[in-house]
Structure 1
Amino acid sequence: MCCDLTGRRDTIAIELIWGINIAVLTELPLALVDLETTGASAKHDRIMEVAVLCRGGGQLADTFSTPQTNSWESLIEPGVSIPPFIQGLTGISDGDLADAPTFKDVAEVLWQRLASRILVAHNARFDLAFLKREFAALGYDYRPKVLCTLKLARALYPQWPRHGLESICGYIDFQTERHHRAMADVLAMQAFLDYAIADCGEAAVAYHIALQLQMPALPPKLPREQIDAVPSRPGVYRFYGDNDQLLYIGKSVNMRSRVLSHFSADQHGGKAMKIAQQLRRIEFSETAGEMGALLQESREIKQRMPIYNQRLRRQRSLCCVTLEADKEGYDQLHFHAGLPSDILAAGREFAVFRTRKQARDYMTDAAADAGLCLQRLGIEKGGRPSRPCFAFQLQRCRGACCGQDPAADYNDRLRGALTSRMVEAWPYGEPVLLRESGNGGDAAWHLVDRWVYLGVLPPGEPSRDACLSILAEATERDFDFDSYRILKKFEAELECLPLSSLG
């Protein structure tokens, strides 16, 4: 008698959560449960009353051998006396339980109602602890998915001062003759669920239920047709919130799969949850392949500055570093704020850092690792000519400061330290078109000049007029290190066509 539901992915629940049919919320296989116990400790106290109400999931299982109803309740003989406080709270006395069945007597009947269903209870940890202990003593392994209506009430109605079941009944105007009896509290939970669906909407309730069940959750205010419209194609997608505020820009070779992954069970914390709760609209643009999606995403994020994109947002304090040999043949670093146009126009190689501080810190660490001289590099002020620097005396510099480190060896180590940050010299004397081949025969021509990505041509064969039009509109040709790395990543796969070869 083992029921392990921890890894179960119920078909109905999955359809609900992907938003195929939000009305299926009413068909989730739920077992609303309440227990009355002799105390608060599952280890020392016992169950003395249980009530179950089954909802959804095709009602009760057809395999039951005896006629069943959707609701079931029973007093339970706990085998211990009931404390006076509990008797006063519930109205259940020792005499009421004298002829009641034991938990062992009702275990199989109760198991049939719970084993294939989601356990729903108010402060569910309490009820689950008692049920697991009682079932385990009889050889049942009870590990259900759990929905706590106390947590649900707090999520849906944070403005309510209290979220106990008795208080909730007052807020929703649900009348009950008594509290702290199992079936009365089960009916109160049912009333709350029905009230929340009518008041907040099925989508909002479904969203918070999915979060509790650790399943994918469709954003509560995103229309289903917005998901349906996203294709399983490469491209860039955009999330919008209230007042069409741009929240997030993303890219993927399969936009539909990637968009849905934002709402998966492991994306319910932090930024992902904030996006999901604010999301109202999705927009997308298809690309031929991954490179086009990466380039377009990088450009749009820097231009449009979405709220929840941080990594690729524009860095205003870009620092460019060039190498120039001094009179003794040792390469020195020269720091430039931004990227001077003459460096870009001349096609010189250079290194790029987000800030001047990052450049100096990087080179200071690299100097220590490679035995470079900070004075030769220009990071520290020099001492006397041809005199050892302080780092040389500490055996951290190999002696470029005093001529003991040959210039050729020194320059090789310096360039090796900068390899990951260096931008290669532009190998062409003019703008070029790079052809990206996509899946399914799609292709796109991208216009690039001096490693600056200028845009993608309209579908079809490339034309000189289309290129000149893009060049004329590209008044700002700022170098972007992210775009450079993307182009270098795909360089070997691309067909290159110089602009001058177009008629």
Structure 2
Amino acid sequence: MLYAIVDIETTGGYAAANGITEIAVFVSDGEKIIHRFHTLLNPVYTIPKYVAALTGITNEMVEYERPFSSIADELFEMLSDKIFVAHNVNFDYSFVKHHLSQSGYELNCKKLCTVRLGRQILPGAPGYGLGKICKHLGIEIEDRHRASGDALATVQLFHHLLKCDTNGHVQAMLKTKSKEQFLPPNISAQAIKKLPQQPGVYYFHDKKGKVIYVGKAKSLANRINSHFSNNKPNRQKQEFLKKIYNISYKTTATELMAFILESIEIKKLWPEQNRSQKRFEQAYGLYSFEDRKGYIRLCIEKKKRNIQPLYTFNLLTEGHNLLRKLMHQFELCPKLCFLQSENISCQLLAEKKCKGACEQKESVEEYNTRVAACIDYLNNELPSFALIDFGLQQQEQSCILMEKGRFYGMGYLPSDITIQNIEELKFRLTPYAENDYIRGLVYQHAARYPSKKISLNN
């Protein structure tokens, strides 16, 4: 078995928008080096000053060096039938694979990470960064932060790990179904294997334990594994690989509960790697205002920052449907609700379903009394219901509660309980902060699965 121990220097942290400035490859049989390859490269991209200060490789040094494409053929032949070894292997492999792909070569070889191997074979070391582990083992790095010096030190480290591997960690990592080749260097494969197939919410933690990402899953095991099942060269992927030190999770009985809990946790923890729900807001709102004649008018408009809507909607049609329902229920004028053009005669007036506020045949006081009743209905009389589904265990059921049109909370109930009123139910559930996104999820689910919905008296 032959190993290609690789180290590269780059212009930045992810392959999709950065180049390789230097590469070193030492081919080993596990005991000695049998082939060496080392070269500077013109990365095409500009080398940032801080990178030049770290590596000593400047733009002037590589200006007339050959590009990566000129070594692609030789490099592919050198690597394609070897085990790719590196310290934090996913970083080096992502760059080499990406740039080989840009040159028309698809690299697919097994990988070994000396960080992960070090944690397994040499537990209790003071650290597993290349500098710390080499210092601990007495391995001298002659040219630090340069490809050749770091690669040669990695060779010596790897040979030492092979000699100390009495429990077969290397072979276990090379197995086809092993997750060791794909996981970030600080995540235990054993922890990944213990993940359940249940729905739930998962948390990625950084070195200090802070949550940097929250996600939801229909199957926690499948979803978390999908984050590490490929090695995309984009920025977000590489940031994940660098920053994730631990994973925790909370199981839920249903996927809907996972969706809700994810939204709650994102709003509460505000993780740096989450994007979507930080800015989510319902697009439309139902507003009221008094016109110049004193009539209170209802209208659907795009949400305004500084005005609190009576109700919110994601779709304009959803808002219009509710407003039409309220218009008929409280005998409101379609023209004063902006559901009919001002330029034509009031349709409901002709049908004697409008009392004439649009033509000032009804007093301001009488009309506004009904509008006030309509607004009071929105505030107090919107539907209260529970969504009942299976629980985490056989003898329980899950429950999501909507009270007066707003999300109250969720939790688990004994399967033999009879739901009689809201107050009794609220005592058994965990209340959570509501937002428009959660409310929309619950309403959509209730409409899709009416058999799970139990209406409750307010």
Normalization by structure 2: what TM-score? 0.47
Greater CA radius of gyration, 1 or 2?
1
